[in-house]
Amino acid sequence: MSELDDFLNETLPRQIEAETAIHNGDVEPRLEMWSRKDPVTLLGAFGIAHSGWDEVSRAFRWVASRFSNCTAYDFELLAAGVSGDLAYTVAYERATSSMDNGPVEAQMLRATHVYRREDGEWKIVHRQGDGLGSDQAPHDNA
């Protein structure tokens, strides 16, 4: 198996579990996926931008408080790479859940993650996510 295969097989199942959990209002699995060592950064889909563990973890707790009733979550991997102790993924994230106690609806994000290997374990150190409007197909040419 390649280093990339090892990374994906080890990390993506945990990350998918964590993202499903946050869409059900449970932030703890996502927090476990993240490094506590700076630099850590977040450019979030709600227009939030944070740097440092205290700010990032506070933002994640706020995000989790907005979600509930996740009925589906999918992580469509578009690209990934590993180089030494750094890795990245680029994906579409699709979730069907309730936001702010509203109806269960589908949402879609474009998401990029950067990971750093710490003590033999991959930890996320950056997330950039942005939403796609309902009129934007994920494969439209720019």
Does residue 104 belong to any structural domain of this protein? yes
Tally of structural domains, the chain: 1
140 domain-assigned: no
**4-13, 91-100, 132-141: least confidently modelled range:** 132-141
Cα(67)–Cα(64) distance, rounded to whole angstroms?
Answer: 5
Instruction: Identify whether 121 is part of a domain.
Output: yes
Q: Is residue 139 part of a domain?
A: no
pLDDT of residue 142: 44
Query: Residue 88 sits in which domain range?
Result: 3-131
141 located within any domain: no
CA dihedral 19, 56, 51, 96 (to 10 degrees): 30
The average pLDDT across 64-91 equals 97
Mean pLDDT for the stretch of residues 3-9: 97
Quick one: pLDDT band at residue 135, thresholds 50, 70, 90?
very low
pLDDT in tens, 18-34: 999 999 999 999 999 99
Q: Is residue 136 part of a domain?
A: no
